[in-house]
Amino acid sequence: MIRTLRAGARGSRLSLWQAHHAIELLQRRGVAVDLVVLSSSGDRDLDVAIEDLPSTAPFADDLEDALEAGTIDVAVHSLKDLARVPAAGLMVSALLPRGAVTESLVSRDHVRFDALPPGSVIGTCSSRRQAQVRLRRPDLVCRSIRGPADDRVEQVRSGRFDAAILATAGLERLGLSGAITETFAASDFVPAAGQGALALQVRESDADARAVTASLDHFATRLATTAELAAERHLASAGQLAAASAFVQHAFITLHVRVLPLDGSGAADVMASGTDPDRVALDAAERALERWAVTR
């Protein structure tokens, strides 16, 4: 038996669902776990667009600070919230089996995306989502929406927005599947790298926490998200906005990468496959950049 671990999570309903899910899995392995609820800069600064926040990981920064300080032993994150450059001394010891990777539309009166009237206001604070909305429907208006997923649903229902685009996994985990008007195929509306995956982060020096959380690591989720995140990093280093989605079957990775202009003027799509996630990602990124250069 190891010591009681302290698991840190944000205080939103979705974050707490994720934390309790991870804690239950650890408890099944005989580990005692206490929950520590924290906030992040992204939770506190709701009047500022996410890209304007000073932190590179506004929904993970305070959790990582608490890990480094020894206030908690395990941080439970949505993988896509973590900074793309790992914090020194910290590591993602486990990725839990992934939820849905797709994006879903929540709209007033359950009007589907293609049937929304021109000029309808879509709530999203993601540049990636905005670019894909403009790619498909340049006649729609994108405006920033902040707050946890359940609050965004209420903002649509109250009429503040005509619709919003959210991660399917978050809606399902909150019991809000009934609010979904339409779920987009990942090939049509490409999700964020790492979407739907939950990450357990620990201190590299904490052998106990590393060992017990590593037993929860899900191989297929690790392969898929490693490829997605690596492709995103390659393209970001080239100054490109990108989305990526990978599917794994019998350790064989199929990766879809989309390079996006913010104005929705066009996109470059590439598929790559193989068994090495880093090689698959590099192949996809290089070919996507070549295709992007041709389309410009």
Specify whether the CB–CB gap between 212 and 28 falls below 8 A. Answer: no
Specify whether the CB–CB gap between 256 and 248 falls below 8 A. Answer: no
Write out pLDDT tens, residues 99-129. Answer: 999 999 999 999 999 999 999 999 998 999 9
Residue-level pLDDT, tens digit, the chain, 296 residues: 789 999 999 999 999 999 999 999 999 999 999 999 997 766 666 555 566 554 566 678 899 999 999 999 999 999 998 977 788 999 999 999 999 999 999 999 999 999 999 999 999 989 999 999 999 999 999 999 988 999 999 999 999 999 999 999 999 999 999 999 999 999 999 999 999 999 999 999 999 999 999 999 999 999 999 999 999 999 999 999 999 999 999 999 999 999 998 887 889 999 999 999 999 999 999 999 999 988 76
Write out pLDDT tens, residues 140-193. Answer: 999 999 889 999 999 999 999 999 999 999 999 999 999 999 999 999 999 999
Query: From CA 244, how far away is CA 225, in angstroms rounded?
Result: 9
Query: From CA 18, how far away is CA 60, in angstroms rounded?
Result: 14
- CATH 3.40.190.10 in the chain, residue ranges: 5-96+198-217, 103-183
Third-level CATH fold of 5-96+198-217: D-Maltodextrin-Binding Protein; domain 2 (3.40.190)
- CATH 3.30.160.40 in the chain, residue ranges: 225-295
Third-level CATH fold of 103-183: D-Maltodextrin-Binding Protein; domain 2 (3.40.190)
- In CATH terms, 225-295 corresponds, of 3.40.50.700, 3.40.640.10, 3.40.50.300, 3.30.160.40, to 3.30.160.40
The amino acid sitting at 191 is P
Specify whether the CB–CB gap between 93 and 202 falls below 8 A. Answer: yes
